[in-house]
Amino acid sequence: MPPSTTQPPAMQPGALGLGSVLTYWQGAFLLLAAIWGSSFLFIKIGLEALSPLQVALGRMAFGTVTLLVIVLIRGERLPRDRWLWGHLAITALLLNALPFSLFAYGETAVSSILAGIWNATTPLLTLVVVLVALPEERPTRRRVVGLLIGFAGVLVVLGSWRGVEAGALLGNLACLGAAASYGLGFPYSRRYLAGRPESVLALSTAQLLCGTAELMLVTPLPTLSVAGIPVRVLVSVATLGAIGTGIAYILNNRIIREAGATTASTVTYLIPLFSTVAGLLVLDERLSWHEPLGGLIVLLGVAVSQGRLSLLPRWPGSPGGDGAGNAESTTDQEASS
């Protein structure tokens, strides 16, 4: 979601009780990476008793309730512009309802570790959408090289040289489709929601309300009563929604305000690390050698496409090595936030 135009005062080091080790936003940054990285673990546990759509709906519902409570406590109002609600509904479909459902479906066939790795392709897919949808954006050398490296990493993650079973292929494609949905949603959100006078909290809450309503239309009623759902599953879905979909929004936007969108976007680099550790330690999942290698190649492609790492020689008068300079770097970095 777009950050608020109001900049709160920066927190002093030690606000999290870590003395001079971490500032407030750095602690929030690590916490956000851990929350989003562990989301794939909670999805996997939720699937033990619920369908993918039910997991996605539960996640949305708990997240919506969490933000509604915060809205009420702060005395804020939800948007009243009906055209804005239309844009929020589309944003919710692209950034919430569809990717949450696809990741849950994907994890019926692939590990939570692999789902977390696929999430790292989001900045690359966002860049593809930006290049296709925005005529003013140029496919410069750096961007092309970064995309080629990133999608080579996708092939390595799949282990395409040894073939992929049909079920696993569908699961991988579902996770990739979820990342592609994020890739469509972020540019749409920036175009139609950025700069709105409403607060980030109000827009986020309205967006989750729309996403919850959308999933309610297509999700069958649970075959089990709430009392019949295992506590482990119920707690996982509630945590996924309240923290991973509710509180995480607030953390992310606080980081954007205090450290900037460029810094906030680098959380992408840490999410696969936390999802891998959670899958290995908690779910005892297995990890093939090519999956983390492919993930690292994807992140290398992301870094190159965003100008964080240069593999190309610099030309005179070209700060970014491709004649685009800082303006292009800013656009790329926004595409991953």
Angle at which helices 52-74 and 248-259 pack, to 10 degrees?
60
Per-residue pLDDT tens, the chain, 337 aa: give them.
433 333 333 333 333 444 444 567 788 888 988 999 999 999 999 999 999 999 999 999 999 999 999 999 999 999 988 899 999 999 999 999 999 999 999 999 999 998 998 888 888 888 888 777 777 667 778 888 888 888 888 888 877 666 566 678 899 999 999 999 988 888 888 788 877 888 888 988 999 999 999 999 998 766 555 667 889 999 999 999 999 988 887 887 777 767 766 567 678 778 888 888 889 888 888 878 788 888 888 888 878 876 776 655 554 444 433 433 333 343 343 333 3
CA distance 308 to 300: 9
One-letter amino acid at 198 equals E
Q: Could you give the 3-state DSSP secondary structure of residue 26?
A: helix
One-letter amino acid at 168 equals A
One-letter amino acid at 67 equals L
Is residue 125 within 8 A of residue 182, CB to CB? The reply is yes
Half-sphere exposure of 110 (CA within 13 A, CB side): 31
Q: Would you tell me how many other CB atoms lie within 10 Å of the CB of residue 263?
A: 16
Residue in the block written with tokens 């989001």: 122
Q: Would you tell me how many other CB atoms lie within 10 Å of the CB of residue 220?
A: 9
CA distance 87 to 305: 29
Structure tokens at 280: 């290995």
Domain ranges of the chain: 24-140+166-288
Q: Residue 315's pLDDT is what? A: 45
Q: Residue 224's pLDDT is what? A: 55
Structure tokens at 143: 């961007």
Q: Residue 238's pLDDT is what? A: 95
Q: Residue 335's pLDDT is what? A: 38
Angle at which helices 122-133 and 290-305 pack, to 10 degrees?
40
Q: Residue 239's pLDDT is what? A: 95
